[in-house]
A and B are shown apart, each in its own frame.
Chain A
């Protein structure tokens, strides 16, 4: 058994564990290669957490992550429920909905820029048709702090992922319990919330865990489609790393460690909350 586990263990402990330890140490002032070594030193966390912009950025990060996770969840579950039923063209549709899964995020972001940007197709078309005088009058969709662009890309990419996971669970469960409930006189809502939902909950929890963890740490979409200062935390970290001043890299590392801490706490609480629920309904 150990031999089978070895490759994964080595990768996890050496690559991931090593980077984690080094990252935490750097955020605590260990960087002799820049001539900085005040380990252990909490001033980088102090400076970061003591600044109001950090909390603003955290709020923004959580807002994008939560809203897009929630929207993907709702749309993904609806899609999965539709897919277990029969409808004409289902085979074609089953391939079509998976398309975003195969397209990288960066391409999705590029599509958003090309379509929805002020220099994008929609704005050019509207100017061409004469609805607006010139493309610069097109309403600002991308690069605002509402984050429509960021959320759109995440939802576009993650809805199929949720649907795929939930659909697999639904196929495994079969439709017998739902039919039994229908025969016993349950209406549509009762069937969904009391029969189907508890059955697909493991799929919902695992897929939302994964997409939320991605959304909170992702950099490209908020960097390209975001509204500038205040930025999300991963972008803040990038700005620190990219500054010509080397001492700021430690501040950047403190930002990265903070993101990991916050994401860890949220995901852990979510999971333990779910475990409690499982125990309460008698599953384990």
Chain B
């Protein structure tokens, strides 16, 4: 039976890969080798005619920007833009892998580009489902720092510690920022460290919670707590290595104090006084709790989240960003990737190039409050000025404070283990030693 099914799927894929596929792989190989000029790409994109971008569609401002700005801009380039709004980025990754499993190669799938980062990119890379190193070969690649000798290039070369190999292009850069409702909390009581947060919650139990891991907003809060409690005092530094480089025992030793802190925090979280602690499922649920005054602090990715939230009414009046946790405000970028079985690869390249242009970065910032993904020191003075003017502005913190407290993201291979450990140790309240749990999680993941 097993053999029959395998041979069946093989024969299906053999039929599917026709002569058309050869022509399209020639184009890919030519482009990746630098033999195809950009005007050839644009001509080919026009004949392909359309491009399907799969992205998380849960934000109205982003959807409006896509429809009102990106659609007409691509129409001018002769490409029909199809924004496909999905509830989770993983849906698009699933689709790419399912189609790849069914034998659909380049030119035959349904996803041209995905907005993603972290684990989703790591999955596509692991499954060898990416188009290739395109991101440094477009005209607008000049706005991105690719020189590995410049330390500022780290976020372009590594996504959650995983090497991007230019298989995805930076689209936006974000920082994990917490906001406080100043109409409920006195300035003097705003915590700057995890210990101060706990002191505040002991006096005001239930007035804080964080998004439930494995949602990335929750994972990031857990990572920040782990960095701050790193027993060696080296913050996020050791977490840049993969699980194989670091070793399971070392990882367990490094994360134990952070997880113990989170466990001791649980009885002080929202809802814990009348039963069990409540962790919101996503961004929207978290915003709802904050707006409604159920929690006093709200932590999520969003450099300009406060200004945007105040202007569209999703944040309570009196909301202000603050520096928390000192020295460990995680910063990362998010990217656009082209999958290996993109149906319209040239149009996907044209889209990626447009998304990296200063023009689109400026309107994106203006419409959605998403910070630029291109690097300001690579831009002309006028372009930098345009970006600054488009910014909704910071509330309560200065850019210098944010820059002074930056921390890098955690390696994607560690994120899986840490989230599994959180689920086991905190959510399921396991009585096992953290080291045992980490070992088990790592074993499960390497299966």
Chain A residues at the B interface, C-beta cutoff of 8 Å:
30, 32-34, 37, 39, 53, 118-119, 134-136, 140, 143-145, 223, 227-229, 242-247
> Given A119-B291, A244-B123, are A144 and B275 neighbors across the interface (CB < 8 Å)?
yes
Find the A residue at minimum CB distance from B271: A140
The reply on B292 being an interface residue by CB < 8 A is yes
- Provide the residues of chain B in CB contact with A53, threshold 8 Å: 428
A244 pairs with B416, CB closer than 8 A: yes
The reply on B78 being an interface residue by CB < 8 A is no
A30 pairs with B2, CB closer than 8 A: yes
Find the B residue at minimum CB distance from A36: B447
A39 pairs with B447, CB closer than 8 A: no
A228 pairs with B90, CB closer than 8 A: no
Question: How far apart sit A134 and B100, CA to CA, in the bound complex (Å)?
Answer: 53
- Provide the residues of chain A in CB contact with B275, threshold 8 Å: 140, 144-145, 227
A245 pairs with B292, CB closer than 8 A: no
> Given A53-B428, A228-B279, are A245 and B416 neighbors across the interface (CB < 8 Å)?
yes
Interface readout for B278-302 with A: 1 if CB under 8 Å, 0 if not?
A: 1101000000110111100000000
> Given A135-B294, A243-B214, are A143 and B2 neighbors across the interface (CB < 8 Å)?
no
A245 pairs with B101, CB closer than 8 A: no
Question: How far apart sit A203 and B320, CA to CA, in the bound complex (Å)?
Answer: 59
Question: How far apart sit A30 and B279, CA to CA, in the bound complex (Å)?
Answer: 34
A143 pairs with B278, CB closer than 8 A: yes
- Provide the residues of chain A in CB contact with B291, threshold 8 Å: 119
The reply on B242 being an interface residue by CB < 8 A is no
Find the B residue at minimum CB distance from A251: B444
B279 pairs with A247, CB closer than 8 A: no
A32 pairs with B119, CB closer than 8 A: no
A244 pairs with B214, CB closer than 8 A: yes
A-B CB contact pairs (8 Å), 28 listed: A30-B2, A33-B98, A33-B101, A34-B101, A37-B2, A39-B2, A53-B428, A118-B292, A118-B294, A119-B288, A119-B292, A119-B294, A136-B292, A140-B274, A140-B275, A143-B271, A143-B278, A223-B281, A227-B276, A227-B278, A228-B278, A242-B90, A243-B214, A244-B90, A244-B123, A244-B214, A247-B445, A247-B447
Chain B residues at the A interface, C-beta cutoff of 8 Å:
2, 6, 9, 88, 90, 97-98, 100-102, 119-120, 123, 212, 214, 271, 274-276, 278-279, 281, 288-289, 291-294, 416, 420, 427-428, 444-445, 447
- Contact count A vs B, C-beta below 8 Å: 64
B205 to chain A, nearest CB (A): 12
> Given A32-B6, A227-B276, A228-B279, are A246 and B292 neighbors across the interface (CB < 8 Å)?
no
- Provide the residues of chain A in CB contact with B212, threshold 8 Å: 228
Question: How far apart sit A226 and B290, CA to CA, in the bound complex (Å)?
Answer: 20
Question: How far apart sit A169 and B444, CA to CA, in the bound complex (Å)?
Answer: 54
Question: How far apart sit A242 and B9, CA to CA, in the bound complex (Å)?
Answer: 25
Find the A residue at minimum CB distance from B441: A245
B100 to chain A, nearest CB (A): 8
Find the A residue at minimum CB distance from B412: A244
Question: How far apart sit A136 and B291, CA to CA, in the bound complex (Å)?
Answer: 11
> Chain B CB within 10 Å — which of A53, A135, A229, A247 has the most?
A229
Question: How far apart sit A223 and B214, CA to CA, in the bound complex (Å)?
Answer: 15
Find the A residue at minimum CB distance from B420: A245
- Provide the residues of chain B in CB contact with A118, threshold 8 Å: 292, 294
B44 to chain A, nearest CB (A): 30
B88 pairs with A228, CB closer than 8 A: no
Find the B residue at minimum CB distance from A53: B428
Find the B residue at minimum CB distance from A247: B447
- Provide the residues of chain A in CB contact with B445, threshold 8 Å: 245, 247
Find the B residue at minimum CB distance from A230: B428
B343 to chain A, nearest CB (A): 19
A112 to chain B, nearest CB (A): 14
A33 pairs with B120, CB closer than 8 A: no
A206 to chain B, nearest CB (A): 35
